[in-house]
Amino acid sequence: MKLSRITNAASTQQTLENLLGQHRKIKQRSLSLQLDSFLQDLRQYHQETVPAFQAYRQLRQQIITQERQALRLESFKPVPLSSFVRNRLINEVYLPIIGDNFAKQMGAAGDSKRTDLMGMLLLISPPGYGKTTLMEYLAQRLGLIFMKINCPTLGHSVVSIDPQEAPNATARQELEKLNLALEMGNNVMLYLDDIQHSNPEFLQKFISMADAQRKIEGVWRGQPKTYDLRGKRFCIAMAGNPYTESGETFKIPDMLANRADIYNLGDVLSGREQAFALSYLENALTSNQVLAPLANRDPEDVYRLIRLAQGEEVPGSEFSHAYGATELNEILAVLRKLFRVQEVLLKVNQQYIASAAQANEYRTEPPFKLQGSYRNMNKLAEKVVAVMNEEELENLITDHYQGEAQTLTSGAEENLLKLAELRGIMSSAEKQRWQTIKNQFNRRQSLGDPDQDPTQQVINQLSLLGDQLKQINQTLSTTPTADSIDSTSQAEIPAAEILQPALEGVTKQLAGIQKALQQATQKSSGTQDTVALLKHFSQALKDFKPVTLSQPEPNVQVVNQLPAGMDTAVQQLVAMIDETLLPIVHSFERKSRMDLVLWNRLKEVSETLKEVQGMSAKLLKRRSNYTP
């Protein structure tokens, strides 16, 4: 079939003028369109360009997904715990001081923005005070990526920021996160957690970053780089527990510490004692079934209820929520019980910090390792119910800390006894046991290092013995003389007058023995000279004459009271024997390489001082036999 054709005079070419753009076919602001070439270009576009673009988009999305998974970007989004409570301590104390630090690091909006951006934030406290939770909350509110570096994963062996030098895969992953934060550069909070488990040499890498230079060396994908963070929305915060009882000692480079603003979340800031104590109750709201609804209500209602539970009159019209009588009574009953828990935990927290901050050589009792943090408060609060009586509440606290003490193994007993002392619930048997433990602890303290040279231990113990004898002499020197006391008590006076010269002689002999021992130690000349000196010392003690009290005349009235200071002197004699000589003997028993003769001589010294103790006991017994 033959198709008919119609001739059309329409133009197949057109030129468009005055065009703007950079298309390759626009020349001198003109575009020439030709129908046959346009159709050919359109066909090529549909067959080649569109499929290629679709393949590009698919590949791009695939690469983005792979990199997102490799970099774990979702984990860097700050997500505070649902139990986080904006309490008064955070609002009135921590947010202002932490906000000032971040403003110093990143700058503040408005005309008050600083030009000398620098600094670092260092938070310290025992575990369980919400350091990480607070930082994650602030990162969310500020719109920052929360890059948390877990320092226990790095350990003390990591001293470089280079991931390739990491000792294991997990440490390498943490270093990659750190370098990723530096590579991002903007809208990032770099947070190093538990820095007490990291090497101080590793922490030194951040000194220049906390300075006005705001520069730090890093490694990204194998290439070393210098990151300049000046003028960028980037801040760095570190957190640690300086009171740790396990692992390495907490150390932070001095040059880094003096560039940081340091705040202790576990200690009471001056003038903020009430807010700190109140924070225990506020943080425990979400843990208790009865109090949990208060976390989603007006915070002022919580403060009104606390005041009401403390006995203050609060009109019902002041509450923003309508509380029924049953609900209100149950809330008040739980709060009153939490007051007792709060009181105990505050004491435990203060004792933990005071004990952990004390050097071992200056301790007078075993270290206290039980903690009284927000975490402990939450654990107890979830078990408190309104119908508990006082005995059940005390048992709850006891059971909680007995469980906590199980992790202390051999230190569980001494910590639980100290806790009972803090709570004021020690029985007489517990008091006696606690005193025994402290005495034994002080004996071990006086011995020093058990691996120390035995002769040096003797020197240390004799030095302590000399100090105790001086204390006894001082006590006796303060007792009244026979001339200054009424004749009714003169029968007792010779005891002080006889004991004091004898003890002064012992002190002189002791000084000579100690000096000889030191010389023997320096010359490493064995124990023969030391034995001779100790024998001389023992003989000097044996020369003490027993103190006898003359019977009073029948017509003289005897007061049943020794001169002032004699009781103290006797107690100091007993302590001198228990805490000084007995540890020496015990030390020699454990040191098989020590000469047996020296051991025997020291035992003689111990027996002689026991005679002095017996003499003092006779004095006390003789005093009790006199009647006015």
What value does the mean pLDDT take over residues 277-293?
91
Strand, coil or helix: 478: coil
In this predicted structure, the answer to whether residue 452 has a pLDDT above a threshold of 80 is no
In this predicted structure, the answer to whether residue 255 has a pLDDT above a threshold of 60 is yes
- pLDDT confidence of residue 492: 44
- pLDDT confidence of residue 201: 92
Looking at residue 297, its amino acid is: R
What value does the mean pLDDT take over residues 229-248?
78
In this predicted structure, the answer to whether residue 499 has a pLDDT above a threshold of 60 is no
Residue 493 binned pLDDT confidence (cut-offs 50, 70, 90): very low
- Kindly report each contact of residues 358-366 with a partner whose C-beta sits within 8 Å and lies 24 or more positions away, as own/partner: 361/445, 363/441, 363/445, 364/438, 364/441, 364/442, 364/445, 365/418, 365/437, 365/438, 365/441, 366/411, 366/414, 366/415, 366/418, 366/437, 366/438, 366/441
**Considering only 265-274, 498-507, 535-544, 598-607, which range has the smallest mean pLDDT?**
535-544
Q: Across the chain, what does the average pLDDT equal?
A: 77
Q: What is the SS3 string spanning 557-625?
A: CCCCCCCCCHHHHHHHHHHHHHHHHHHHHHHHHHCCCCCHHHHHHHHHHHHHHHHHHHHHHHHHHHHHH
Residue 116 binned pLDDT confidence (cut-offs 50, 70, 90): low
- The helix (H) or strand (E) run that includes residue 123 is strand 120-124
80-101 CB burial, b ≥16 within 10 A, e <16: beeebbebbbbeebbbeebeeb
- pLDDT confidence of residue 357: 80
Check residue 203 and report its DSSP letter: H
338-376 CB burial, b ≥16 within 10 A, e <16: bebbbebbbbbbebbbebbeeeeeeeebbbbbbbbbbbb
Q: Alpha-carbon distance 628 to 626, whole Å?
A: 7
What value does the mean pLDDT take over residues 226-246?
83
**pTM (2 decimals)?**
0.66
Q: At what angle do helices 454-477 and 493-523 cross, to 10 degrees?
A: 160
CATH number for the domain running over 76-264:
3.40.50.300
How many C-beta neighbours within 10 Å does residue 486 have? 9
Most confident option among 171-185, 247-261, 597-611: 171-185
Beta strands in 487-566 (DSSP E): none
- pLDDT confidence of residue 621: 61
Looking at residue 241, its amino acid is: N
Q: Alpha-carbon distance 116 to 121, whole Å?
A: 16
- pLDDT confidence of residue 541: 47
**Considering only 164-173, 420-429, 526-535, which range has the smallest mean pLDDT?**
526-535
Rg (C-alpha) for the chain, rounded Å, is 40
Give 340 or 486, the one with higher predicted confidence: 340
* Helix runs in 357-453, H state only: 374-381, 390-405, 412-423, 428-447
Fold classification of 454-625 is: Four Helix Bundle (Hemerythrin (Met), subunit A) (1.20.120)
What the block records as the tokens of 30 is 């003109």
What value does the mean pLDDT take over residues 491-498?
47
Most confident option among 57-71, 120-134, 411-425: 411-425
Residue 1 binned pLDDT confidence (cut-offs 50, 70, 90): low
Q: Alpha-carbon distance 342 to 381, whole Å?
A: 10
- Burial (CB count <10 Å: 0-12, 13-18, 19+), residue 330: middle
- pLDDT confidence of residue 212: 82
- pLDDT confidence of residue 410: 76
Query: Nearest-5° angle of CA 548, CA 552, CA 556?
Result: 150
Half-sphere exposure of 235 (CA within 13 A, CB side): 28
What the block records as the tokens of 271 is 């003038």
Find the Cα–Cα–Cα–Cα dihedral 219, 222, 225, 227, rounded to 10°: -40
Q: Alpha-carbon distance 46 to 337, whole Å?
A: 77
Looking at residue 554, its amino acid is: P
Distances (CA, A) of 68 to 63, 72, 252: 8, 6, 34
Residue 534 binned pLDDT confidence (cut-offs 50, 70, 90): low
- pLDDT confidence of residue 230: 86
Laid out side by side, the sheet with 260-264 consists of 145-150, 188-193, 234-240, 120-124, 260-264
Residues 6+ apart with CB under 8 A from 582: 443, 606
**pLDDT digits 0-9 by tens, 544-598:** 444 443 444 544 444 444 444 555 555 555 565 555 555 555 554 554 444 455 5
What value does the mean pLDDT take over residues 282-290?
91
- pLDDT confidence of residue 601: 58
DSSP codes joined into one string, 42-105: HHHIIIIIHHHHHHHHHHHHHHHHHHHHHHTGGGGS----TT----HHIIIIIHHHHHHHHHHH
In this predicted structure, the answer to whether residue 172 has a pLDDT above a threshold of 90 is yes
Domain residue spans in the chain?
76-264, 273-445, 454-625
Residues 6+ apart with CB under 8 A from 592: none
- The end-to-end CA distance of the chain, in Å, is 156
Q: Alpha-carbon distance 417 to 423, whole Å?
A: 10
For the chain, give percent helix, strand, coil, nearest 5: 60, 10, 30
In this predicted structure, the answer to whether residue 276 has a pLDDT above a threshold of 70 is yes
Q: Are 281 and 338 in contact (CB under 8 A)?
A: yes
Looking at residue 26, its amino acid is: I
In this predicted structure, the answer to whether residue 141 has a pLDDT above a threshold of 70 is yes
Q: Are 527 and 455 in contact (CB under 8 A)?
A: yes
- pLDDT confidence of residue 561: 47
Q: Are 188 and 147 in contact (CB under 8 A)?
A: yes
Q: Are 422 and 374 in contact (CB under 8 A)?
A: no
How many C-beta neighbours within 10 Å does residue 518 have? 15
**pLDDT digits 0-9 by tens, 340-361:** 999 999 999 999 988 888 888 8
Q: Alpha-carbon distance 530 to 423, whole Å?
A: 50
In this predicted structure, the answer to whether residue 227 has a pLDDT above a threshold of 60 is yes
In this predicted structure, the answer to whether residue 380 has a pLDDT above a threshold of 50 is yes
**pLDDT digits 0-9 by tens, 304-331:** 999 999 999 988 888 998 898 999 999 9
What value does the mean pLDDT take over residues 110-122?
70
Check residue 247 and report its DSSP letter: S
What the block records as the tokens of 433 is 């046991």
In this predicted structure, the answer to whether residue 182 has a pLDDT above a threshold of 80 is yes
- pLDDT confidence of residue 455: 56
